[in-house]
């Protein structure tokens, strides 16, 4: 089932990429693995997802200990507390959800101690929702300028969790706004900040996100089925 679901998601990504006129292989499919066990994760990787995205540190540590992510890069996609940074830096290939100066500084310090460079994305609160973390579009240029001065961080793009819409069409304006922001940031000249990835779109709207310029999507339910909370 999981392998089939991955194939279907990839086929839908291919259709959306064709609509936008981009190579489907340029879209990174991240399996959002929360609440799914190591076996499910292994099947998703076998099915051909490009990366796994975990959003709870405890689950990441446990599944990583089981070797569940072998064969796929690991992303951290959840809200990261500073006291858990040590468990994630150097373990996750990409931390997608950097959302404050304090968190960035903690990651920088930890990466420096390990003698590594940690790849990150900046989470943007594109809907301006109080319930969501993320940097506001207005604060983003200044935030990126500060990240640019942190030698143990490599900033590779932006991530967002859009406000929940009833349909993908309700979400489309947010995707458009994010893409414009992504291009604006690309125009700025930083040394250590690139705009390689735009991570947006989940199970209900990943095709729409790709149509609007996402090159990284994070898909859980459409691959693993409904989560049992």
Ligand X SMILES: *Cc1c(COP(=O)(O)O)cnc(C)c1O
CB of 39 to ligand X, least distance (A): 18
Alpha carbon of 57 to those of 28, 83, 171: distances in Å? 22, 11, 28
CA 65 to chain CA centroid, Å, is: 22
Residue of the chain from 202, 207, 209, 210 that contacts ligand X (CB under 6 A): 202
Please say whether the beta carbons of 198 and 213 come within 8 A. yes
Residue 203 sits in the site that holds ligand X (CB under 6 A) = yes
Angle made by CA atoms 229, 164, 18, in degrees to the nearest 5: 105
Of 71 and 225, CB closest to ligand X: 225
Residue of the chain from 12, 14, 24, 34 that contacts ligand X (CB under 6 A): 34
Please say whether the beta carbons of 26 and 17 come within 8 A. yes
CA 228 to chain CA centroid, Å, is: 22
Of 111 and 222, CB closest to ligand X: 222
Binding mask 91-130 for ligand X (x = CB under 6 A): ----------------------------------------
Q: Which residue is nearest to ligand X (CB)?
A: 220
For the chain, strand residue ranges (E) read 28-32, 51-54, 74-76, 94-98, 118-124, 153-160, 193-199, 216-219
Residue 44 sits in the site that holds ligand X (CB under 6 A) = no
Residue of the chain from 5, 55, 64, 110 that contacts ligand X (CB under 6 A): 55
Tokens of 148: 């640019």
Of 83 and 226, CB closest to ligand X: 226
How far apart CA 209 and CA 22 sit, in angstroms, is: 13
Of 32 and 49, CB closest to ligand X: 32
Of 95 and 150, CB closest to ligand X: 95
Please say whether the beta carbons of 118 and 89 come within 8 A. yes
CB of 220 to ligand X, least distance (A): 3
The span of 127-135, 144-152, 171-179, 220-228 binding ligand X (CB under 6 A) equals 220-228
Of 47 and 78, CB closest to ligand X: 78
DSSP one-letter string for 62-87: HHHHTTTTTTS-EEE-S---GGGGGG
The span of 16-24, 37-45, 142-150, 213-221 binding ligand X (CB under 6 A) equals 213-221
List residues binding ligand X (CB under 6 A). 32, 34, 55, 77-78, 161, 202-203, 218-222
């Amino acid at each position: 089932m999981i392998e089939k679901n991955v194939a279907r998601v990839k086929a839908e990504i291919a259709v959306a990429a064709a609509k936008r006129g981009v190579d489907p292989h340029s879209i990174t499919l991240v399996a959002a693995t929360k609440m799914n066990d190591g076996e499910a994760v292994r099947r998703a990787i076998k099915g051909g997802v490009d990366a796994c995205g975990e959003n709870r540190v405890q689950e990441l540590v446990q599944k990583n200990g089981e070797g569940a992510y072998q064969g796929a890069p690991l992303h951290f996609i959840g809200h990261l507390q500073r006291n858990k940074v040590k468990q994630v830096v150097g373990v996750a290939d990409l931390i997608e959800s950097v959302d404050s100066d304090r968190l960035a500084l903690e990651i920088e310090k930890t990466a420096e101690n390990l003698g590594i460079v940690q790849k990150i994305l900046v989470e943007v609160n594109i809907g301006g929702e109080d319930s969501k973390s993320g940097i506001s579009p207005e604060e983003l240029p200044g935030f990126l300028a500060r990240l640019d001065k942190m030698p143990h961080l490599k900033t590779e793009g932006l991530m967002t969790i859009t406000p929940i819409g009833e349909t993908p069409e309700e979400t489309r304006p947010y995707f458009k706004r994010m893409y414009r922001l992504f291009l604006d940031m690309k125009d700025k000249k930083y040394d250590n900040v690139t705009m390689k990835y735009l991570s947006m779109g989940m199970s209900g709207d990943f095709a729409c996100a790709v149509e609007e310029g996402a090159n990284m999507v994070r898909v859980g339910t459409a691959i693993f089925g409904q989560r049992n909370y």
